[in-house]
Structure 1
Amino acid sequence: MAGLLEGHVAAVTGGGSGIGQGICQAYAREGARVIVLDINLDGAKETIGLIEAAGGAASAIALDVTDREACKAAAAEIGRGGKISILVNNAGINRRNPITGEAAAVARDWDDILSINLDGMFNVTQAFLDQLRATRGRIVNIGSIQSFVHVSWPNSAAYTTSKHGVLGFTRALAAELGKDGVRVNAIGPGLIETRINAEARARNPEMVAMVMRHTPLGRPGKPADIAGPAVFLASDMSAYVTGSIIMADGGFRTI
């Protein structure tokens, strides 16, 4: 039986680790040819190895999503081998720094977070837009529970702003691109255990405990918990879904 994404070509930013790596693996299992885009080429190669070991097809391009010209060049290079029909904007960073902190550090964090999480999403989407319109493709943006809430994380103005922006960008594009047959949706992960946040989780057990108190399912998420919704949103199973965000947060917002 053919996979849900058979015949698709999917580009995934930040695909070299964590949630992005999980999405890449799931897409490949469902039959997509995956292009891993990550500033860390070694991580991207690790993802390729995992995909190929499972019988899938993948390639990688080193990409800094904050570099608009590099995004255009990557899209052109990929386009020469076939247009993408799925784009996942997953690349992102998080730092927690109170707005009342040391001014230079706060400004630096603001610039870095917004340039990757929000400007980077714009840069990549704009670079691939012609391909997605030609293939009547689908875009999946990775938001957060902080696309909605912030009171539990009072020291993250930049990150919260960026993830609110992801949701706004998703809805605006869905409204504009629907006439072209392009669907645009988002996923809002809760606390997901990855190697990247392992140190932060170990350093802040009180934060982890607070999140778990607000999570009915009683456990942190895994990258695979985000990969499932990402497959759904990229597949024809969600053919009438656009401008939406699927919360994959273990129920955090219900308490």
Structure 2
Amino acid sequence: MIETGELLRGKVILITGASSGIGAAAAHVFAREGAAVVLAARREEKLSAVVAELRDKGADASYVVADLTSAEDVRRAVGVTVERHGRIDGAFNNAGIGGDQLPLHEMADEIYDTIIDTNVRGLWNCLRAEIAAMLKSGGGAIVNNSSVGGLVAIPAAAPYVASKHAVVGFTKAAAEEYARRGIRVNAVAPGATRSEITADWFGRNPGLEEAIHEVTPQGRTADPEEIAEAVAWLLSDRASYVTGVVMPVDGGYVNH
């Protein structure tokens, strides 16, 4: 059985992009801290596997297959969460993609469209549905996954950097708008973290991981669980006076 903590005990949390990487790690961390978790992503086979692992440990876990670029899919995912648990207390909007690393002038429209649609429209869809549900149940907490690319430039990744700056903008705007209505909205800005996105980038760019380590004071790549731990705190009542914050979880990268 899973050994539960107290940080998120009794909370119902929706996690997007939860089939792998940071999202899957978050599901395990949140469940360990006492939350009931609902996982959302496009890949049912991987979602099912993560939920099976959680249930084997005694966690209250379920999933919804959803394409977050579809407002209808997102509303359904939030609706299913509320139907199963009576409310939604928290959401971790983690879903996102990286894209090809190319000079800006060589990027095709399709690269821009895909990244912006997933990382920006997807978040837009999530925030609208989650906030509407939380207003009905008296409030909640939301954490959006940005990136160090939402705070500083990353070479050869202009659309990704633009999309993650947009995540920061949405976070600050929503935090301001709903602070007096019982909803906190924050973001994390991870540095290089072991995930499918970074594995793809590192695989196609030999030496990139080592170069990032050189400019990261801690000199390493993060484990997904390290990002999830920061998100868990931001979603918890221990962060009750924290809203509109973009928290770097990056081994000191942006401070370098």
Q: Shorter-chain TM-score: which interval?
A: over 0.9
Corresponding residue number in structure 2 for 1:53: 56
Corresponding residue number in structure 2 for 1:112: 114
TM-score (norm 1): 0.94
1:38 to 11, 36, 41: 41
Native 8 Å contact 1:174 1:243 kept in 2: yes
Corresponding residue number in structure 1 for 2:127: 125
Structure 1 residue 127: Cα displacement: 1.4
The alignment status of 1:181 with 2:182, answered yes or no, reads: yes
1:55-204 superposed matches below 5 A: 55-81=58-84, 82-95=86-99, 96-101=101-106, 106-133=108-135, 134-150=137-153, 153-204=154-205
Number of matched pairs: 250
* Distance 1:156-1:196 versus aligned 2 partners, 3 A rule: closer
Structure 1 residue 3: Cα displacement: 1.7
> Percent same amino acid at aligned positions?
34
Structure 1 residue 206: Cα displacement: 2.3
Native 8 Å contact 1:71 1:127 kept in 2: yes
Corresponding residue number in structure 1 for 2:248: 247
The alignment status of 1:27 with 2:30, answered yes or no, reads: yes
Unaligned runs of 5+ in 1: none
Corresponding residue number in structure 1 for 2:208: 207
Per the alignment, in what secondary structure is the counterpart of residue 187 of structure 1? Answer: strand
CA RMSD of superposed structures (Å):
1.4
Unaligned runs of 5+ in 2: none
Structure 1 residue 227: Cα displacement: 1.0
- Measured in 2, the distance between the counterparts of 1:2 and 1:210 equals 37
Structure 1 residue 70: Cα displacement: 1.6
Structure 1 residue 23: Cα displacement: 0.6
Per the alignment, in what secondary structure is the counterpart of residue 229 of structure 2? Answer: helix
| Cα displacement string for residues 13-41 of structure 1 (whole angstroms, at most 9, x for unaligned residues) | 00010000111110000111100000111
Letter in 1 for 2:175: A
Native 8 Å contact 1:18 1:194 kept in 2: yes
TM-score (norm 2): 0.93
| Cα displacement string for residues 177-231 of structure 1 (whole angstroms, at most 9, x for unaligned residues) | 0011100000000000124432431332322122111111111001011011011
Native 8 Å contact 2:144 2:188 kept in 1: yes
Structure 1 residue 2: Cα displacement: 5.5
